């Protein structure tokens, strides 16, 4: 078996195990809701991890794509009478198309221009969601209709735990497959040397564009899931702070690590919930823990721990 296949099974196995264990250990509705939020954020972080870890590009407006997915899911049924699931699909397509249009001219340039362009895009999306009050409901947010499938109402924390969890598992599977493919290798290569990648035939601009669109699609999918799960969205879902949180999830968990993106998402989703006890200090503690992680586990949690384990193992 190629090492790629073994790693793939290991990661998916670990993820599946956690998915099975959480409802057994923490069966309360509250815990399942937090866990579902973790899986949703992990889907978005996963896409960003592909962009940052594989291609070495940063999106500072990724929550913008989440916002597009979330609001498409909310607005489609309200204004166009569309099915929520169909609206979510349209939102994902829209986010992918937007990423393509923004990324195409920007990714021809070398350097971190994408970070600046996406920063602007994220702010723009947020601005539209806040100010177009008649359409979007403005800062107060908007209700999302219940999802019905074949006449069955999809409600309850347990059901949404599994919907989001299985989506994450599928998203991770696709991401792992991409890593272990010609495109994946090309992306990792251009991260180290764009020149060397181009002289062996890699169309660097195109490869970066592909992974940027994938990352946007992942974020929009996460946004749509969030809207359906939470049944209420506000422009905060697309806010700049959310974008920074997504980047932090990827960096803390370990760039380029699929499992790391999930761990990072778990940490940044669960920690604020746990810290509500010290409400006044919540942001201080969060900031401090990010600094500590970066000082002591600079590669991120998952690669950092993996390195520790390998070092301890007797030769």
Partner 1 sequence: MSLLEARGIGIAFGGLRALDGVGFAVDPGEVLAIIGPNGAGKTTLFNVVTGLYRAQSGEVRLEGRDVTGLPPHVLAARGLARTFQNLQIFFRMSALENVMVGRHLKERRRLWAELLGLPSVLAENRASRARALELLAFVGLAERAEEPASALPYGALKRLEIARALACEPKVLMLDEPAAGCNPVETEEIDRLILAIARKGTAVVLVEHDMKLVMRISDRVLVLDQGRPLAEGTPQQVRSDPRVIEAYLGRLGLEAAHAAA
Scanning 129-137, 168-176, 224-232, 234-242 for contacts with partner 1 by CB under 8 A, the matching segment is 168-176
Question: Do residues 78 and 100 touch, judged by C-beta distance below 8 A?
Answer: no
191 binds partner 1 (CB under 8 A): yes
Closest distance of CB 221 from partner 1, Å: 13
174 binds partner 1 (CB under 8 A): yes
Closest distance of CB 268 from partner 1, Å: 25
Among residues 31, 33, 188, 231, the one that binds partner 1 under rule CB under 8 A: 188
Scanning 130-138, 145-153, 195-203, 298-306 for contacts with partner 1 by CB under 8 A, the matching segment is 195-203
Among residues 83, 132, 158, 180, the one that binds partner 1 under rule CB under 8 A: 180
Question: Do residues 44 and 167 touch, judged by C-beta distance below 8 A?
Answer: no
Region class of 137: left (phi > 0), else alpha (psi between -120 and 50), else beta: left
Closest distance of CB 1 from partner 1, Å: 11
Q: Residue 236 CB: number of other CB atoms within 10 A?
A: 15
- Site size for partner 1, by CB under 8 A? 32
Among residues 31, 78, 185, 231, the one that binds partner 1 under rule CB under 8 A: 185
178 binds partner 1 (CB under 8 A): yes
Closest distance of CB 184 from partner 1, Å: 7
What are the b/e assignments for 27-62, b being 16+ CB within 10 Å? Answer: eeeebbbbbbbbbbbbbbbbbbbbbbbbbbbbbbbb
What whole-number distance in Å separates Cα of residue 107 and Cα of residue 125? 20
Among residues 24, 25, 152, 195, the one that binds partner 1 under rule CB under 8 A: 195
50 binds partner 1 (CB under 8 A): no
Among residues 200, 277, 295, 315, the one that binds partner 1 under rule CB under 8 A: 200
110 binds partner 1 (CB under 8 A): no
Scanning 94-102, 143-151, 191-199, 232-240 for contacts with partner 1 by CB under 8 A, the matching segment is 191-199
CA 162 vs CA 13, 223, 313: distances in Å: 16, 17, 36
CA 156 vs CA 17, 33, 84, 229, 270: distances in Å: 22, 9, 17, 9, 20
Residues 203-232 that bind partner 1 (CB under 8 A): 203-204, 210
Determine phi and psi for 144, rounding to 5 degrees.
-115, 130
Among residues 48, 107, 197, 265, the one that binds partner 1 under rule CB under 8 A: 197
Among residues 7, 135, 167, 183, the one that binds partner 1 under rule CB under 8 A: 183
Please report, as ranges, the residues that interact with partner 1 according to CB under 8 A. 2, 4-5, 8, 173-174, 176-178, 180-186, 188-189, 191-193, 195-204, 210
């Amino acid at each position: 078996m190629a090492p790629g296949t073994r790693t793939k099974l290991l990661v998916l196995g670990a993820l599946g195990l956690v998915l099975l264990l959480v409802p057994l250990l923490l069966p309360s509705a509250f815990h399942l809701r937090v866990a579902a939020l973790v899986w949703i954020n992990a889907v978005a972080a996963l896409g960003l991890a592909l962009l940052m870890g594989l291609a070495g590009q940063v999106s500072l407006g990724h929550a913008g794509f989440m916002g597009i997915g979330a609001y498409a899911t909310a607005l489609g049924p309200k204004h166009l009478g569309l099915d929520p699931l169909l609206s979510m699909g349209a939102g994902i397509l829209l986010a992918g198309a937007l990423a393509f249009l923004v990324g195409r001219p920007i990714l021809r340039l070398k350097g971190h221009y994408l970070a600046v362009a996406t920063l602007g895009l994220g702010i723009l999306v947020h601005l539209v969601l806040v100010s177009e009050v008649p359409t979007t409901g403005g800062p107060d947010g908007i209700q999302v209709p219940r999802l019905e499938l074949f006449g069955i109402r999809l409600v309850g924390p347990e059901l949404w735990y599994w919907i989001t969890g299985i989506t994450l598992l599928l998203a991770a599977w696709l991401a792992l497959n991409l890593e272990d493919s010609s495109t994946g290798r090309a992306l990792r290569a251009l991260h180290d040397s764009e020149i060397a990648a181009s002289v062996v035939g890699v169309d660097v601009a195109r490869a970066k564009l592909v992974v940027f669109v994938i990352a946007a699609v992942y974020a929009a999918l996460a946004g749509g899931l969030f809207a359906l799960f939470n049944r209420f969205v506000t422009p905060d879902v697309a806010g700049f702070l959310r974008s920074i949180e997504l980047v932090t999830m990827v960096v803390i968990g370990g760039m380029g690590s699929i499992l790391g993106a999930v761990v990072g998402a778990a940490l940044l989703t669960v920690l604020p919930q746990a810290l509500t006890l010290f409400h006044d200090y919540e942001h201080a503690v969060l900031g401090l823990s990010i600094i500590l992680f970066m000082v002591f586990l600079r590669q991120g949690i998952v690669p950092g721990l993996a390195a520790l384990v390998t070092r301890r193992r007797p030769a």
